[in-house]
Amino acid sequence: MAAAAVDAAATFTMPKRVLMGPGPSDVHPRVLAAMAQPTIGHLDPVFVALMDTIKQQLRRVFRTQNELTMPVSGPGSVGMEVCFVNLLEPGDTVIVCENGVFGGRMKQVAQRYGAKVVVVNDPWGRAVDPAKVKAALEAHPEAKALAFVHAETSTGALSDAETLARIAREHGVMTIVDAVTSLAGVPLEVDGWQLDAVYSGTQKCLSAPPGLSPVTFSARALDVAKQRKTPVQSWFMDVNLITGYWSGGTKRAYHHTAPVNALYGLHEALRMIEEEGLENVWARHRRVHLQLVAGLEAMGLKMLVPADERIPELNAVMIPEGVDDEAALRSRLLNEFGLEIGAGLGEFAGKVWRIGLMGQSCTERHVQLCLDALKVVLKR
């Protein structure tokens, strides 16, 4: 059912929603209030000081000392492109693990930049198999990087980033890691696991609005970007230029105009994570996820992903037999309960629902609302 047209002459008023899809997640009023402050100049010394603080906050949430750690202006997909376009030159070989939509997007991005892509396929709904990665690295000694998705939001599968990164290191290749949904949802140790180029997004477990992509590069990755033989194909995403703005000390060079108010919001969202404690945030995601799964299973529903490969923040549940029009049920959840859950993607379209428990949307109250609402719409 389509919504009524929005009147251009009237103030747009949002309906009340509870966000339990694959992102964005609920944004705390504190973050919204921070963003409602007046816009200041993006080179104002006060704003530059805020940028420095945000870089420090991001280092803590990524668990890294990497100098190049910053929020790129753009959604998670831009962070993905930043990693590929800076680290790969045309003709370079990259091994991309594909076990869902976002591994597939990585493959397309790498191909567009002229890389030779070797795909390691795993079934959707399962983790990346380290043995297959090892075999691919042995078959392709020319590979420059290994790319994989830590938490596949399209299916809810968690891959073992620590093991995959160790295998990559043993073969002398860099890692490009999608941590869009894993950051602040499950343990992620950029330095501890020696990951090279990692990107995330603000609208998943960080619970800030969409539009920024935290990115971090190891010293090695930054070196590779600096020593390229060919220029980075993108002017906007060239880290050699972006860092002049984000890391220029007091002498920042204008590169582009950062989304000032979005960064006020990110600062507040990261502050809330630090107030709670990052490890407590991880534990909350795990605890609330187990409550949701117990409730769904008590209703006779089945999860897609095996228990030991699940991410807590995205729960793919099989749509029960007898539901002919699952989209109509999601519309009812939205219209009658103000509750958004996600549809299945790709081969799971029409077969699963994706229930997000990300950041501020990861509470017992959310679980209760979701279970109650599902019981009502599944009854009729």
Interface contacts to ligand PLP, rule CB under 6 A: 23, 75-77, 102, 149, 153, 178, 180-181, 201, 210
- Measured over the CA atoms of residue 304, residue 307, residue 309 and residue 311, the dihedral's sign is positive
Kindly state the smallest distance separating residue 76's Cβ from ligand PLP, in Å: 3
Kindly state the smallest distance separating residue 243's Cβ from ligand PLP, in Å: 22
For ligand PLP, give the closer residue by CB, 201 or 259: 201
CA-wise closest residue to 212 among 6, 61, 13, 109: 61
Kindly state the smallest distance separating residue 23's Cβ from ligand PLP, in Å: 5
Kindly state the smallest distance separating residue 102's Cβ from ligand PLP, in Å: 4
For ligand PLP, give the closer residue by CB, 199 or 246: 199
Kindly state the smallest distance separating residue 178's Cβ from ligand PLP, in Å: 5
Kindly state the smallest distance separating residue 46's Cβ from ligand PLP, in Å: 28
For ligand PLP, give the closer residue by CB, 125 or 201: 201
With both helix axes pointing from N to C terminus, report the angle between 219-226 and 239-246 in degrees, rounded to the nearest 10. 120
CA distance 236 to 353: 36
Angular region, 338: left φ>0, alpha ψ -120 to 50, beta rest: left
Q: In b/e form, how buried is each residue of 309-333, taking b as 16+ CB within 10 angstroms? A: bbbbbbbbbebeeeeeebeebbebb
Pairing of strands 116-121, 212-217: unpaired
For ligand PLP, give the closer residue by CB, 147 or 329: 147
For ligand PLP, give the closer residue by CB, 110 or 371: 110
Burial of 380 per CB tally in 10 Å (0-12, 13-18, 19+): exposed
For ligand PLP, give the closer residue by CB, 201 or 214: 201
Report DSSP letters for 80-124, one per residue. Answer: HHHHHHHH--TT-EEEEEESSHHHHHHHHHHHHTT-EEEEEE--T
In the bound state, the residue with its beta carbon closest to ligand PLP is 76
